[in-house]
Chains A and B, each alone.
Chain A
């Protein structure tokens, strides 16, 4: 019986293989989003990530000169800001003591390296080298010093986590425009551009206004910088207005990111990366 079956399979190996591959692919598709896929996937991703680094080397070298120039200017501006900040901090402390305010909350961050990204332009998913062993949990926000990136998707592996970026059309973030009217809306990506929708028509929004997380969704703490308003679409007959957003974080060039572990009373950084992000 078994011999006859084996013989039949070999005789129809092409059709059997096609059926197997189609059924397997379809089953995986139907199974839907699986963030915590087994160690096999993480193992292969790790090997491929090493390959990606090799392929990415020439590009990295090409960017080095620009990056060097950018970093030099950044260091210079940081030195200037540091001097200003020192002055402001002491003034702030004095005022806090006067007003008996609690020290403002800051984020506790976990530094992570980007291992791999998907092939979308811009990427919608990245894999980072920290997982539950490092303290990463499901839905934790992920950011760079330039702004919000997304959130950890599903349960992470030991030292790997999958991050759904704000460029992923299925991610929604409650956002607020930081100006006097504080118009609230929902940030989402349409596949190409970031937009904030459902902003009240009465709220005044100007191009260049900063957009931050509002904290309404419960996942992202309030005040994380997202980007600035690029364009306002103002249809007077519509109930709401919408805005195009220029993201603060460079989604196409991600190397190091931070997972926001918790809000702590004092700024603490795990991984020894300078300066907490506190926008």
Chain B
């Protein structure tokens, strides 16, 4: 049951990213919404779940891309797997720590995708700056989202978002 819910979260994140991205973009920076779920899955499960969730979310993101089909899948898989391996050494104590982990993951994801897309020619510094902005934006949205869910969990008694993490 948990994995069906997680898969739905991933799909919702990817669809929201593709739909709302342009509306909530700030100076071209867009929060990479599915990454918020990938990070949580990888940290609360293991490298296999992280890898597969990164691959799945990347696949959904790549569906709408004409030329770079596979870029988000590749980077998503790598980020999910790495986080899953690193979870043993990460202590998810508070929201700030989770925010830093999300920030680093989002920066790696956004810069990784831009790096792959720049393979066919030097695009200049602008896409990289936008990618950095997207990473920061993702971390801020993720922290706000996790805070709200934690709050709702306290009120409604839902299952902990971070059960399984250290």
What is the interface of chain A, defined by CB distance below 8 A to chain B?
13-14, 17-18, 21-22, 24-35, 37, 41, 44-45, 48, 51-52, 55-56, 59, 116-125, 127, 153, 162, 164, 168, 170, 191-192, 252
Q: How far is the CB of A39 from chain B (nearest CB, A)?
A: 13
B149 within 8 A of A: no
Q: How far apart are the CA atoms of A249 and B14 in the complex, in Å? A: 26
* Chain A residues within an 8 Å CB radius of B123: 191
Tell whether, in the assembled complex, residue B11 and residue A51 are in contact, meaning their CB atoms are under 8 Å apart.
yes
Instruction: List residues of chain B with CB within 8 A of the CB of A27.
Output: 70
**In the bound complex, do residue A24 and residue B65 qualify as a contact, i.e. CB atoms below 8 Å apart?**
no
Write out the residue numbers on chain B whose beta carbons fall within 8 Å of the beta carbon of A22. 74, 77-78
Known A-B contacts A48-B63, A52-B19, A116-B18; the reply to A25 vs B30 at CB < 8 A is no
Across-interface contacts of A117 in B (CB, < 8 A): 18, 64
Contact yes or no, A119 B63, CB < 8 A: no
B1-54 at interface with A (beta carbon < 8 Å): 11-12, 14-23, 25, 28, 30, 46-48, 51-52, 54
Contact A123:B28 (CB < 8 A) given known A24-B73, A41-B63, A192-B126:
no
Known: A21-B51, A55-B16. 17 other contacts (CB 8 A): A17-B52, A18-B47, A21-B74, A25-B71, A28-B69, A31-B69, A34-B69, A41-B63, A48-B18, A48-B63, A51-B19, A55-B20, A59-B19, A121-B25, A123-B22, A127-B64, A191-B123
Q: Which residue of A lies closest to B21 (CB)?
A: A119
Evaluate whether A121 and B63 lie within 8 angstroms (CB atoms) in the complex, with A28-B69, A51-B11 already known. no
The contact of B73 among A28, A51, A123, by CB within 8 Å, is A28
Q: In the bound complex, what is the Cα–Cα distance between A59 and B23 (angstroms)? A: 8
Would you mind naming 16 contact pairs between A and B with Cβ atoms under 8 Å apart? Answer: A14-B81, A17-B48, A24-B70, A25-B74, A29-B68, A29-B74, A31-B69, A33-B67, A48-B15, A48-B18, A55-B16, A116-B18, A118-B66, A119-B30, A120-B65, A125-B66
CB < 8 Å neighbour of B61 from A34, A119, A153, A170: A119
Is there contact, CB below 8 Å, between B66 and A13? Answer: no
List, in ascending order, chain A residues with CB within 8 A of B71's CB: 25, 29
Tell me if B66 and A35 are in contact (CB < 8 A). yes
State in angstroms the CA–CA spacing of A35 and B63 once bound together.
Answer: 11
Complex-state Cα separation, A144 to B104, whole angstroms:
41
Closest to A27 in B: B70
Tell me, rounded to whole Å, the shortest Cβ–Cβ distance linking A172 to chain B: 14
When C-beta atoms are compared, the residue in chain A nearest to B123 turns out to be: A191
Within 8 A of A (CB), among B109-131: 116, 123, 126-127
User: Do A122 and B22 contact each other (CB < 8 Å), given the known contacts A14-B46, A25-B74?
Assistant: yes
Q: At the interface, yes or no: B60 with Cβ under 8 Å from chain A?
A: yes
The 3 A-B residue pairs with the shortest CB-CB distance, nearest first, are A28-B70, A25-B74, A29-B70
* B66: contacting residue among A18, A168, A252, CB under 8 A: A168
A252 to B58, CA, bound (A): 23
Chain A nearest CB from B150 CB (Å) reads 23
In the assembly, what is the distance between CA of A56 and CA of B81, in Å?
Answer: 32
> Which residues of chain B are within 8 angstroms of A37 by Cβ–Cβ distance?
69
- Cβ–Cβ contact A21 & B70, under 8 A: no
CB distance from A270 to the nearest CB of B (A): 25
- Residues of chain A contacted by B54 (CB below 8 angstroms): 21
A192 touches B28 (CB 8 A): yes
